[in-house]
Every structure is written in C-alpha cells, then in structure tokens.
Structure 1
Amino acid sequence: MDGYEARRLANIKRNAELVQDLGLEDSKPAQEAKAPTTSTTKRRKLDPAPPTRTSRRLASAPSRPATYNEDALQKALVEPTESGSRRSRSTKTKKGAAASSTKIKAEPSPPPPSTTATPHPDLDTIVAGWTSWTPTAPPPARDEVTGEYHFESHPDFRPNKSPASILREGAFGGTYWRPLYSKRLRITVAGDWRELPAEWLSGPEGNINVDRQLTSTEYDPSVNKYGASCGQSIEEWEAAGWIAHEYDVRGWFQWYCRFWMGRRCEGEDERQISRWKKCVGETGRWRRILLKKYVQMGVRSVFDEGDEEEEERGRQEALDRFWAAGK
C-alpha cells in the first residue's frame, strides 16, 4: 500500500501549503473563544432530535405538520489546554437580519480540574492509532442509476453522499474540525482536518474556506445548504458515550472520512455502519420520519432545482414506495 501512503502524505503537504498561501490559519488559540454574555443562554439537551430539512418543495406544500503534519499534530494533541469550544442553541439575530445568517456563538467546554490536568494514561497509544493507519481498501464505486456508493468490503453500506459533498453542503455549520477539548482524554485536538484529501478541499466548485467551513468556532446556519441549524455537538456525543476515542475522537463523520479513504477497523466499522442503518437505512428512523412528513403534507416529488438527478432518483423511488405501501 506504499502508493496510498505516498498520496496521503502528499495531501497533507498540499493542504498545509494551501492554507499558508491563502492565510486561512486561525491565529487565535481555541481558549480565546468567548462564551455568550447573556444570562439566558441555554445548553443543548442530550435528547437527539430528528433532522429538519427545509426546501422549496416543503415550503410550498399545502400544509405543514423538524497541519496534519504528523509530528506537529502529535505535539498539538498531547498538550492539555484550559478549555475548548462548544456550540449552543442560543442565537442572537440583529433587527431585520435573516434567521439563516444568524451565528451561534461557541460556548467554551468546561475546563479540566486544573491547568496541569494529566492526559489520559493511554494517550500515546490512542494518538498513534489516529496518525499511523494505512489504507487497505480502494475507494467506493458509484451506482449511476441510484446515486449510491458501494464499498467492496461492506456491500450493505450504501450511502448516497460522499464526505466531500457533505462538507461542501455545510452539514456542521463549519465547526466540525474546530479545536476540540476532550473531557475523557483531557487534551485539545486540533489540526486533524489536514488529513483530508486535497481534492476534497478544492475543485471546480471552488476552494473550501477552512476558517469558515471547517474550523469555525461559531455554528453558522448560512453555511448549511438548507440554512438550518441541526444536530448535537461533539461534546454531547462524548458525554453520551457514542465516541470510541481509540478510533475517531470526533465521532461518526470522522470515521466515515477515514473509511472512505481506505481505513478498515474490525468491529468498529460494523458498529458505525449499524448506527447509520438505524438512522437512514431502509428502515431507519430518520428516513421514516421524513417520508411520513412528505406524505402528511401531500408532497409527491423530492426533486429540487440544482440537485443531482441520480441522487434524487433514489429518494424519489423511496417516496413512491412509501406512498404506495407506507414503508
């Protein structure tokens, strides 16, 4: 797999040069992010809520019923910090401003018990697992009819979105790769976005703005394709026990990125794919909630101007089946 490793290291170097040339590095340390000053700030609840998609077809419905330089990264990962950042549901909207442009101020994570907090005893082993893996599987093939991606090693895992498209559509409001303080590991993780392939960050659609679309400390709904603020913070995922730190400190999407790039982890891959199925698989709860709302609102077409035809064709078939059989 020398070829894979050479390409991975080339991506790391190219990303570092791109950021330096564009001046996109955040010069302020993570702990300088200020919490909202208002006393009415509310913390996110841990109860997961179904995703909400707002689009042209729903709005018009008749009725509505929700451096990855390994040496530098190694050093950054093992340096404890007083605080990280966390996003809050509270928002402030200027008079006359659209809700979709409202930014959610980052709320600092609780600091360690002291400024000399001792990192996790197995930290070196955990960090080595993040930085020394080697790709062992080829990229997926895309079904041009359904728009689904097929992985040879796991034929039952058939997502219809690539990690690159998820990032470009702003699923995390630009905050996914922000400096992250892990309560369990007692360190701040930063710079791990540099592992991403260079072609994910640049292309015909333009270059991704690292500060705004990857490492922002503010959740910005305007970055999201649908202008929505949704999902829970990584800190809440960690508190709920959903993150296996020895594999991916940031959770499911980081696992998906590395799985796409060819990493395979026996046991962990099956766990993460099982979680995906329960949410958006054939009988997934989020999928059924969305289809049920479409039917309740009388929506019979999922096509939106600008969406990829293959991708929407698969959704249309699912909606047609739900209209006909309720499943």
Structure 2
Amino acid sequence: MNDIESQREDNIKRNQEQLRQLGIYLTPSAGSHHVAKKSPPKKRKLQHPLAPSRSSARIASNPMRQPYVSEDQDQDQNPSRSRQQRSRPIAKKMKAPSNKRELVATAPAKDIESLRTGWTAWEPTASPPSRDQESTFHFEDQPSFTPNKSPEEMLREGCFGGSYFRPLYSRRLGTTIIDDYRELPSSWYSGLEVSKFLTSPTYDAEINKYKVSSGQSIEEWEAAGWINHTYDVRGWFQWYCRFYMGRRCEDDERQISRWRKCVGDMGRWRRTLLKKYVSMGIKEVFDDGEDEEGRDVSPVMHQTCHHWAYEVRQADLERFWKVGK
C-alpha cells in the first residue's frame, strides 16, 4: 500500500468516526458506500381541517353559502316572478323588529284622553304646497322636503295593503285607535271603498299600486321606536297627511330627515331603484301597471318608494344616467 492509499484509508476512518459520533451510520454495499438516512417522522392527521385563509371567486359563489341580506333592506327577492303570482291577496307577515333604531320617540307623559285630544286639536299654520312641472311638491317652510305624490294620490293608487287606517291597538299606550281616517278631507277617499283601501283588517298586496307586499307593519314601527305617540300614533304617512294639510309640530324635522334618507335626492331607496333601471339598460320610465308585457323594474322597490310619497320621474332617470345621482 503506497502513501496515497494509506492516507485515503486514514481519512475514511476519521470521517466514519465523525459520522458515528453524529449518529449517522454507513451501510456497506458492493463497490459503494451509502449514508443511512433517518426515516422521516410520521405526520399527524388533523382531526378538524382548518378552513383556507383565501378563497377563489368560484368558491365564493358556491350556492351552499348563505347570502347576506341587510336586516332593514326591503328587496324584491324574486324579480322574475309573474304578475299573476304577485297579485294574490296575502296576509302581511310579521317580522322581528331590528335592533337598529333610527330615532327613538320619547314615550309621552300624558294620559290617553289628552293625547287623543292633541291628535286632532291642531290648526293649520302653513300654506298648501305648490307643484312644479315635474309634479314635485314644494313646501315654503321646508324646502328640502320634496315628495312627488300627494296623500290622496297614494290612497287612490293603492298603498299599505289597504290597511293603514285599520283599528290599531297600541301596545305602548294600551288602547285601540279607530276611525281616525275621518279627519282627512273626504275628497281624498270619495268614491273609494274605505273598508278595502283604508281600513282593511288584513294587508292585501292586490290593493297596492304595484301589486306586491312591501314594508313593515305599524306594530313593528312602534316596537322599533319609530312612532312619536304625542303627534302621530300611526307613524310616517299619518304625519305626512297632517303636514300636507298645514299642521306643523316638533316632530317635523325627524320625519323629514327619515324621508330624505329613504327617497330624498341621495336617499338609498331612490338610488337603489334608479340603479336597477340603469343595470337593466332602461332609459324611459314606464308604469308597470299599464304594460303587462313590459319588464318589471323591481315592483317591491317601486312600492317602497311609493309608500314614502316618491315615484321615479323621467327627469330623475335621465339625470341619474348622466351623472349617477
């Protein structure tokens, strides 16, 4: 054995000793030396797989996912349903009132009889509104309040399922309110079947202009705190009737603020409805009730706006197409 081979053997022995100290052993084989590798540790199987931190659009659109619907949003859940299906009279379903409150009306610290007297003892202090060429009303003392449907038009066209002035039991007051529609000018409901259009004990969607159910009941409004019993025990529409007739009260600002948020120039229901026209590519306003073959643009949203004394006008739609508001 020459010096080179001897040195090589010494190096091999030295390396083997170092590997042994590290816990690595060589398995000899013919003509070669292989390093014995440690067997990899067994992986534990997760009993409860973790949800992925990211998801694709395909996964997000999986029909098993529950859609989110705003608790206070009134939507047409099935816009493709036929007019015949929408026209069936139905009883209004009660919904659980939302925990979100707009402005909570203060409970009146008066006895019931004095309250009843106050509801009808007022005298008109404001002039009747004017109306422009676009059919918008203008109240001199409240320029930001610009509805385009009068209370009489709403009643005659059909609103609140014909049940707005039905006998109403107020849980807050512990009394029943009845026949208060008689304070309205008789000309507003002359020729109408009162028991069908004003005082029906059940909500009938067939009465509504757009033949659909829309909105919550007065009982739900009361539970949510939207009723100021000192002035209008039935809520918004009763307030509007009296405001239109010239009454002014401390609750005006609150009710007008609610109207602006719903169907004012930047109101969410108004904008939502106009967006539906744009998304469907429709540039002309048509009356759903007159065109049986035409495409419906969210009858539920139309009826909701109608309940707030607003109806889409051609000028509104053209403006929205142009500037988006």
Q: Report the TM-score range of the alignment, normalised by the length of the smaller protein.
A: 0.5 to 0.7
Tell me by how many angstroms 1:191 deviates. Answer: 0.8
- Aligned position for 1:47: 71
TM-score where L is the length of structure 2 = 0.63
Q: Aligned in 2, Cα 1:305/1:252: closer, same or farther, shift over 3 Å?
A: closer
Matched ranges for 1:150-299 at <5 A: 150-202=138-190, 207-265=191-249, 267-299=250-282
Tell me by how many angstroms 1:312 deviates. Answer: 11
Residues in 2 aligned to 1:191 and 1:53: alpha-carbon distance in whole angstroms: 35
- Kept after mapping to 2: 8 A contact 1:46/1:236: no
Amino acid of the structure 2 residue aligned with 1:164: E
SS of 1:101's partner is coil
- Corresponding residue to 1:126 among 115, 138, 157: 115
Amino acid of the structure 1 residue aligned with 2:252: D
Tell me by how many angstroms 1:208 deviates. Answer: 1.0
RMSD: 3.1
Amino acid of the structure 1 residue aligned with 2:88: S
- Aligned position for 2:286: 303
Cα deviation 1:255-287 (Å, max 9, x = unaligned):
00001111111x311111111001000100001
Residues in 2 aligned to 1:296 and 1:52: alpha-carbon distance in whole angstroms: 15
Gaps of 5+ in 2: 1-68, 95-107, 291-308
Count of matched residue positions in the alignment of Structure 1 and Structure 2: 224
- Kept after mapping to 2: 8 A contact 1:170/1:213: yes
Q: Aligned in 2, Cα 1:51/1:128: closer, same or farther, shift over 3 Å?
A: farther
SS of 1:173's partner is helix
Q: Aligned in 2, Cα 1:125/1:312: closer, same or farther, shift over 3 Å?
A: closer
- Aligned position for 1:29: none
Tell me by how many angstroms 1:303 deviates. Answer: 2.9
Tell me by how many angstroms 1:324 deviates. Answer: 2.1
- Aligned position for 2:29: none
- Kept after mapping to 2: 8 A contact 1:120/1:186: no
Between stretches 119-128 and 314-323, larger displacement belongs to 119-128
- Aligned position for 2:129: 140
- Kept after mapping to 1: 8 A contact 2:263/2:310: no
Tell me by how many angstroms 1:105 deviates. Answer: 6.4
Q: Aligned in 2, Cα 1:312/1:274: closer, same or farther, shift over 3 Å?
A: closer
Matched ranges for 1:53-132 at <5 A: 98-104=85-91, 122-132=111-121
Whose RCO is larger (CA < 8 A, sep 6+)?
1
Residues in 1 aligned to 2:151 and 2:216: alpha-carbon distance in whole angstroms: 18
Residues in 2 aligned to 1:129 and 1:322: alpha-carbon distance in whole angstroms: 43
Residues in 1 aligned to 2:270 and 2:77: alpha-carbon distance in whole angstroms: 12
- Kept after mapping to 1: 8 A contact 2:149/2:310: no
Tell me by how many angstroms 1:246 deviates. Answer: 0.2
Amino acid of the structure 2 residue aligned with 1:129: G
Tell me by how many angstroms 1:127 deviates. Answer: 1.4
Q: Aligned in 2, Cα 1:313/1:210: closer, same or farther, shift over 3 Å?
A: closer
- Kept after mapping to 1: 8 A contact 2:148/2:310: no
Amino acid of the structure 2 residue aligned with 1:317: A
Tell me by how many angstroms 1:317 deviates. Answer: 1.9
SS of 1:181's partner is strand
SS of 1:228's partner is coil
Residues in 2 aligned to 1:125 and 1:170: alpha-carbon distance in whole angstroms: 33
Tell me by how many angstroms 1:247 deviates. Answer: 0.3
Tell me by how many angstroms 1:305 deviates. Answer: 8.1
- Aligned position for 1:318: 316
Q: Aligned in 2, Cα 1:122/1:197: closer, same or farther, shift over 3 Å?
A: same
Residues in 1 aligned to 2:116 and 2:311: alpha-carbon distance in whole angstroms: 41
Residues in 1 aligned to 2:311 and 2:173: alpha-carbon distance in whole angstroms: 44
Residues in 1 aligned to 2:110 and 2:284: alpha-carbon distance in whole angstroms: 54
Tell me by how many angstroms 1:164 deviates. Answer: 0.4
- Kept after mapping to 1: 8 A contact 2:148/2:311: no
Residues in 2 aligned to 1:157 and 1:229: alpha-carbon distance in whole angstroms: 26
- Aligned position for 2:46: none
Poorly superposed stretches of 4+, deviation over 4 Å: 51-54, 311-314
